[in-house]
Structure 1
Amino acid sequence: MTKNLTDPKIVTFGCRLNTYESEVMRQHAREAGLSDTIIFNTCAVTTEAERQARQSIRKARRTNPDAKIIVTGCAAQINPDLYADMAEVDHVMGNEEKLKRESFDLTPEARVAVNDIMEAKETAAHLVHGFEEHTRAFVQIQQGCNHRCTFCIIPFGRGNNRSVPIGAITEQVRTLVNNGVKEVVLTGVDITDYGLDLPGKPTLGQMTRRLLAQVPELKRLRLSSLDPVEIDDDTYRLFGEEPRIMPHLHISLQAGDDMVLKRMKRRHLRQDVVDMVVKARELRPDVVFGADIIAGFPTETDDMFENTYRLVEELGLTYLHVFPYSERPGTPAAKMPQVPGNLRKERAARLRDAGQSAENLFMQSRIGTTSQVLIEKNGFGRTEHYAPVQVEALEGDLSGQVVPAYIADIRDGKLLAYPLGTDAANVAREKLSSQ
């Protein structure tokens, strides 16, 4: 079946930074007058992410034979020839090119436009007015990474660390808030390195404090993935003082065994993660943590894996993003002795089960409490702690609004809640108190 396209369609894979950049591209494509166009913003973190992108590209061509197909993102930046050789693809853009308005004035001569990302020295500000497919807004504060973890290909897709000036970040957030956005997520590749390349070297915490002071109307702010040993004192202080920063931190953990962490060339060791969690809980006792973990990294023994598993349990990490190790050609880890694929999957499954158990316990603890829920769609939303919640008995479409709600139960893996002050909330409260 052929589908008729008019407005450019963006298909986004991977990280929150890609989500932000997809909105930039949407604006550029519209300004260029592109129609019947599908833009694939790819990810290169795992081989599976790349496989899914190629599969989606082929499917899009079958269902939209007359559409222009543009492929960009990290996978296209790292291996442009692979996508240029696909018969389904019309144009390939690099990660720097996709953010330039002129790149979308498509010409046959510029079918492949991918420059050396390592030559990029700054990150230009791009004013996004809203996010069409998301209630919360993602705002880029930096780009690239100066570090070379042995498993990671992303620096070759993103380049080195480049920070967005504080004034541009403030302008972006103020624009979003003026357009009705209630929650913003500060995102990048390595946000704890924010400011190292800027005059005066402002820290992540200093920038965030200034942002919140200059945009007092912003209701909620989240920080994306944090390197546990690189969090600056300003960020810790602000986290303890500022209630608008949500009590949910995501840790770039990767492993809980010191030898594995050293072979990964991570900047932290196991104790650094423990210290970070303890310090954050001292500042905000109700904080919950998420973490990225790689299962089955090369040379990981059973004992090494158990160290990671125990750390998850000991720290009570609530939201886990677990990935079986995926070889990335050209990385040092790909040349190390590999853990069998079936064992990687088994370890990943155990970690996911542990994460699900922790999340279930946390959600049980929320029953009988109240939360401020950011409604996303059809009554579904997220609490301050990022717990999924279904709010019943809402009057009208409150998507994008923050609703005070009473947590009454758990249903289908989500908290069940009712707006405070409603008859439904009062009945639920009375029912719980009588049990």
Structure 2
Amino acid sequence: MKKVAFYTLGCKLNYSESSSIARMFEQKGYSKVEFNESPDIFIINTCSVTENADKKCRKIVREAQKINPDGYVAIIGCYAQLKPKEISEIPGVDAVLGAAEKFRLADLIGTFKKTPSGQPAQVLASHIDNAVDYHTSYSLNDRTRTFLKVQDGCDYPCSYCTIPLARGKSRSDTIGNIVKAAYEIAARNVKEIVLTGVNIGDFGLQNGERKETFLDLVKALDEVEGIERFRISSIEPNLLTDEIIEFVAQSRRFAPHFHIPLQSGSNKVLGLMKRRYKRELYAERVAKIKSLMPDCCIGVDVIVGHAGETQEYFEESYKFLNELDISYLHVFTYSERENTAALAIRPIVPKATRSDRSKMLHILSEKKKRHFYEQQINKKGTVLFEDEVDNGQMLGFTENYIRVAVKYDPLLINETKEVLYSSLNENGFMEVQEVEEVLLHV
């Protein structure tokens, strides 16, 4: 029995796909092992979002060769689709598979014989227009939380982004298939499902035609028995409708937590980015959420140092973010990408300036997060505990994404408990009391 191991870089979507491809291998008789357990086959699922994609890929390949010099190395993922020839020239790589080929990896490669030294790696990466099929995917690496892919690809030509070139056009699974997958996940005693995709608000496109909507999907999943809560990973502000917000506010299973990409608080920069909204709409979305769910957690994606972001525009963006009632930021430093419209935009922001702006927003994020946590003290929430220990304490997330730390107790793993938020510890985690204990002491 050949052993196969996976290493996944990048987003939740990549993790869901790696896990699904791994199960395909297991169905064919392969044994899935950890990366350091001397597998016969190494599969590296790559990302193209950061400028270090090349360095990370090369490093993982080197590590694979140290672990098993005779191991077969296959590269898949966004970076593999964008630069297959470049990857094929990395010493130790045996095969590179594109977006249309990765789910047929086991069939296409077959025997997984190591490429003789000096010979080029096998490249199986067709044009992105061939990536039209949809493959249901979900992760099962974490007992408490699963990433369920509901949508793939993107039709939005943002000026900084290569994702449409790496994943193709927007396409979705059917609601029926997704509900079926949710029940399969529930049967594994998973308590939380995170819905993921490239542009999940665009859900419903099948063969280029809109058959269903994201609101339809949310309503259907809210009826799934066995899953305690669903979480929406990220949704564009122009696709987050009042109807979706209103449904989540009164739903049985959807968590009061939204992650909404903003990218810039300057309308001028949003225009340069070719985003499909202005900051006024974003502020309206946040206000709508908070009016219905005052304790809702709202996360924000922001890009700093985009071409054309002058100091004035950055300060405008910072001020907008500072005044928004949000909970945390995910800060990305802009890096140039081949075949993107942003390359023609001027002025170019110096890298040192990009770094300084990033630091400012990371500090702002910490302030926002701490303020959000402090607002929750003396309120109640429900924690789903994970098999993760930090300085002798086990960790978990509440429905509104507050990170909680309690004394380690193996009986709590994958269990939900109602708690009373009491204080923040030195690591910024929330200290709590069980509601049952609180009532006993009243």
Instruction: Please confirm whether the aligned pair reaches a TM-score higher than 0.5, indicating the same fold.
Output: yes
User: Does 1:58 find its partner at 2:58?
Assistant: no
1:162 aligns with 2:168: no
- The number of aligned residues is 419
Report the RMSD for the aligned CA atoms in angstroms: 2.3
Counterpart of 1:70 in structure 2 is: 74
Shift of 1:66: 2.6
Task: State which of 102, 122, 127 in structure 2 corresponds to 1:98.
Answer: 102
Task: Write out per-residue CA displacement over residues 16-55 of structure 1, whole angstroms, 9 at most, x where no aligned residue.
Answer: 1101001011112223444432211110012124422322
**Structure 2 unaligned regions, length at least 5:** 31-38, 116-120
Identity of aligned residues (%): 32
Distance in 1 between residues matched to 2:293 and 2:380, nearest whole Å:
17
* Corresponding residue for residue 33 of structure 2: none
- Give the structure 2 partner of residue 433 of structure 1: none
Question: Which residue, 250, 267, 282 being the options, matches 1:273?
Answer: 282
Structure 1 residue matching 2:357: 3-state secondary structure: helix
Residue 392 (structure 1) aligns with: 407
Number of the residue aligned with 1:121: 132
8 Å contact from structure 1 (residues 206, 235) kept in 2 = no
In structure 2, distance between residues paired with 1:346 and 1:365: 29
Secondary structure of the residue aligned to 2:147 is strand
- Find the partner of 1:373 among 376, 383, 389: 383
Is the CA contact (8 Å cut-off) linking 2:286 and 2:325 kept in structure 1? no
TM-superposed deviation, 1:343: 0.2
Farther off after superposition, 343-352 or 37-46:
37-46
Q: Deviations over 1:172-225 (max 9, x none)?
A: 011101211111111100011111337663210111101222x13321011111
Aligned partner of residue 421 in structure 1, secondary structure: helix
1:419 aligns with 2:428: no
Rounded Cα–Cα distance in structure 1 between residues aligned with 2:422 and 2:439? 10
Name the TM-score, length of structure 1 as normaliser.
0.90
Give 2:218's aligned residue.
208
What runs of 5+ residues in structure 1 fail to find an aligned partner?
Answer: 431-435
1:38/1:296 Cα in 2 relative to 1: closer, same or farther (>3 Å)? same
**Conserved? CA contact 1:183–1:218, under 8 Å:** yes
Taking the TM superposition and a 5 Å limit, the aligned residue runs for 1:295-310 are 295-310=304-319
1-side partners of 2:54 and 2:327: how far apart? 28
Distance across 1 between alignment mates of 2:358 and 2:168: 29
For residues 276 and 284 of structure 1, the distance between their equivalents in structure 2, rounded to whole angstroms, comes to 12
| Aligned: 1:131 with 2:136 | no
Q: TM-score, normalised by structure 2?
A: 0.89
Report SS of the residue matched to 1:417: strand
Structure 2 distance, partners of 1:270, 1:27, is 43
Q: Residue 6 of structure 1: CA displacement?
A: 7.0
2:186 to 147, 159, 177: 177
Q: CA deviation at 1:133?
A: 4.1
Q: Which amino acid aligns with 1:102?
A: D
Deviation at 1:104, TM superposition (A): 5.5
Q: Which stretch of structure 1 is more off in the superposition, 36-45 or 340-349? A: 36-45
2:424 maps to a residue whose letter is I
Of 15, 20, 23, 2:11 maps to: 15
User: Shift in Å at residue 94 of structure 1?
Assistant: 1.5
Confirm or deny: 8 A CA contact 2:242 2:288 kept in the other structure. Answer: no
Contact 1:393/1:418 (CA < 8 Å) preserved in 2? no
Amino acid at match of 1:30: E
Paired with 1:398 and 1:55, the residues of 2 have a C-alpha distance of: 37
Q: How does 1:177-326 map to 2 (within 5 A)?
A: 177-197=186-206, 201-213=211-223, 215-326=224-335
